[in-house]
C-alpha cells in the first residue's frame, strides 16, 4: 500500500464508531474506545538466516518514516511515547486499558498525535522474533497510561 492509502485508512479509523464489544481479525482489533489496524506487514522469519530480516526491517522502517512524516504534516509534531514501563506495570498486575495493553506487548514505543478528541498512534509492532514486522495505526479515546 502507498502512504496515501495508509492515510485513507487512518482517516476512516478517525471517523469510525467504536464497537461496544471487542472485535478481532487477522489485521485489526477494535473495542470500546479504540481501533488498531495493520497497514503493512513483512514476511515471517521462521527460516531466515538474517539477511531477509535486515531487508524487511529496512522496508518497514521506510514505510514507518513515510507515514509518520505524512501524519506529522497533518497533525503536528508527535510525542514519542515509551511503552516499556507500561508492559512492566501490566506484568506486575496493574490493569492496563486497551489499546495500550496490546500495544505494549508488541512494541516498545509509539508515535502519538492528538487528533481532535482522539489519539492517533503509529508504530511498528512485532509479536516475537520470528513474526513479521507490522506497520500499525490506531485511534483511541483512551489516554496513554
Each residue of 44-82: pLDDT tens digit? 777 766 677 788 889 999 999 999 999 999 999 999 999
Q: How far is CA 66 from CA 14, 17, 71, 80, in A?
A: 19, 27, 9, 16
3-state secondary structure of 31: strand
Rounded to 10 degrees, the C-alpha dihedral 3/8/10/14 comes to 160
Are 1 and 68 in contact by the 8 Å Cβ rule? The answer is no
State the pTM of this model.
0.92
Residue range 105-140, pLDDT digits in tens: 999 999 999 999 999 999 999 988 888 999 999 999
Q: Which residue has the cell 503493512?
A: 40
The backbone torsions φ and ψ at residue 117, rounded to the nearest 5 degrees and listed phi first, read -85, -5
Residue range 35-48, pLDDT digits in tens: 999 999 998 777 76
CA 42 to chain CA mean position, Å: 14
Q: Which residue has the cell 524487511?
A: 56
3-15 and 51-75 helices, crossing angle to 10°: 60
Amino acid at each position: 500500500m502507498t502512504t496515501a492509502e495508509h492515510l485513507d485508512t487512518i482517516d476512516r479509523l478517525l471517523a469510525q464508531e467504536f464497537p461496544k464489544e471487542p472485535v478481532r481479525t487477522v489485521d485489526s482489533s477494535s473495542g470500546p474506545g479504540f481501533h488498531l489496524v495493520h497497514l503493512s506487514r513483512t514476511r515471517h522469519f521462521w527460516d531466515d538466516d538474517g539477511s531477509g530480516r535486515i531487508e524487511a526491517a529496512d522496508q518497514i522502517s521506510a514505510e514507518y518514516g513515510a507515514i509518520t512524516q505524512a501524519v506529522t504534516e497533518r497533525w503536528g509534531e508527535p510525542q514519542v511515547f515509551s511503552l516499556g514501563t507500561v508492559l512492566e506495570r501490566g506484568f506486575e498486575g496493574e490493569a492496563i486499558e486497551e489499546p495500550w495493553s496490546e500495544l505494549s506487548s508488541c512494541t516498545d514505543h509509539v508515535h502519538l498525535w492528538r487528533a481532535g478528541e482522539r489519539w492517533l498512534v503509529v508504530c511498528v509492532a512485532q509479536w516475537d522474533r520470528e513474526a513479521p514486522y507490522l506497520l500499525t495505526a490506531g485511534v483511541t479515546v483512551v489516554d496513554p497510561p
